[in-house]
Amino acid sequence: MRDLIVFCQDYRCSHNVKLPAEYVDRWPDGIRISQLEPRFVCTACGMRGSCIVAGSNGTEQAILPRKKNGLPR
């Protein structure tokens, strides 16, 4: 699996952290990202919930997925 980037659920906070593949590889094979997103707690603002996206190889910027209304999900 590639690196993952975890974004705070609160779009006003915009805190994010990159989880290296070495860390992600420790998770069970059957785990789904959707199962993990509600479990993360932002260390900057304390908000529970996250948006997790696949990381890049360092040459690209990760883009936070957005809902139809333009706000981060």
pLDDT tens-digit series, residues 28-39 = 888 898 999 999
Q: Which of 59, 49, 68, 35 lies closest to 7 in space, CA to CA?
A: 49
Domains of the chain by residue range: 4-54
3-state class (DSSP) for residue 65: coil
What pLDDT, in 10s, does the model give residues 8-66?
A: 999 899 899 999 888 888 888 888 989 999 999 999 999 999 999 987 655 344 444 45
Distance (Å, whole) CA 29 – CA 14: 29
Say which DSSP state 25 is in.
T
